[in-house]
Amino acid sequence: MEIKRLGPIGAEIKDLDLTNLNEQESNQIKNSFLEYSVLVFRNQMLNPEQLKSISTLWGEPLVHPVFKGIDGHPEIIEIKNFGEKYHTNAHWHSDVTFEDSPPDATLLYSIVVPDEGGDTLFSSQHLAYNDLDSKLKSDLADKVAVHSNIGVLMLSGQDPKNAKTVEHPIFRSHPETGKKAIYVTEAFVKEIKGLESEDSQKILQTLYEHATQEKYIYRHKWSKGDLVIWDNRSVQHFAEHGYGDKERTMHRLTTSGSKPF
């Protein structure tokens, strides 16, 4: 197994058969995950059952609370291009933060990729937290943000009246490393609890802009058969378009998590 650092976060792991891991290899992968936050495995040939099996290194595969999975494998969502007009992931976010216990890890596997465009960007929220102004850290240390699934419901054609909200700390502590990370995203956060609306939005915008600076980002250019796994507790991601109506098909699943603290 060869491990190659890719950027501010992220590492590529080479010379490994993900369908036949021994205990030592599994432990190395999990340790690398905690160190680099994003792992890249290229040239993989994985069927849905194998993809689910790999995901169990981080927990139980989850059924998405809104979007339907593929036939026979409800935990796996197929993400398929329908043209730039219908592109829905062009925003920075962590996955499913509108749940009480958001997933620990996300796995994304490429089946068909366009010859250009379609990059995914990953930003380290550990690094972003470390660089954050000390006064802002202190002021927000005990604050929580209100997360909502209303946007996802509307996107999937469901009744927004069924929207729910949850509260999570603005700064999340990683349960395995103890490191802190910024844990607010434009996709799902509505407000900071206890602040006036104008103050809340101003602070959130400051955090969003700070958290997605180039110096925290690894950009992944996809090839067919890439498997990318990231730590949803400490990473935000952004899916670029830029490939018109060309086909881009991915399989995605997430693993069980815990209540942020």
Beta carbons of 72 and 63 less than 8 angstroms apart: no
Torsion, Cα 241 244 248 250, to 10 degrees, reads 30
Contacts of 229 (CB under 8 A, 6+ apart): 33, 38, 39, 41, 58, 105, 106, 107, 108
**Bridge partners for 112 per DSSP:** 249
Q: Is residue 260 part of a domain?
A: no
Tokens of 249: 């098909």
pLDDT tens for the chain, 261 residues long, are: 999 999 999 999 999 999 999 999 999 999 999 999 999 999 999 999 999 999 999 999 999 988 899 999 999 999 988 666 555 556 899 999 999 999 999 999 999 999 999 999 999 999 999 999 999 999 999 999 999 988 888 877 888 888 899 999 999 999 999 999 999 999 899 999 999 999 999 999 999 999 999 999 999 999 999 999 999 999 999 999 888 889 999 999 999 999 999
Q: Is residue 209 part of a domain?
A: yes
Structural domain total, the chain = 1
The three-state DSSP-derived secondary structure of 111-180 is EECCCCCCCEEEEEHHHHHHHCCHHHHHHHCCCEEEEECHHHHHHCCCCHHHCCEEEEECEEECCCCCCE
Sign of CA dihedral 10, 256, 127, 34: negative
Instruction: Provide the domain limits for residue 229.
Output: 2-254
Residue 114 in contact with residue 222, Cβ under 8 Å?
no
With respect to residue 145, please indicate whether it lies within any of the assigned structural domains.
yes
In a domain, 259, yes or no: no
Q: Residue 94 domain-assigned?
A: yes
Spatial separation of the C-alpha atoms in residues 60 and 185, rounded to whole Å: 24
Would you say residue 215 lies in a domain? yes
Question: Is the entire prediction scored with pTM above 0.75?
Answer: yes
Give, in degrees to the nearest 5, the angle at Cα 36 between 33 and 42: 75
In this prediction, residue 161 carries a pLDDT of 84
Domain contains 96: yes
CATH of the domain at 143: 3.60.130.10
CA distances from 62 to 38, 65, 78, 106, 233 (A): 19, 9, 14, 10, 16
Task: Specify if 15 maps to a domain.
Answer: yes
User: Is residue 54 classed as helix, strand or coil in its secondary structure?
Assistant: helix
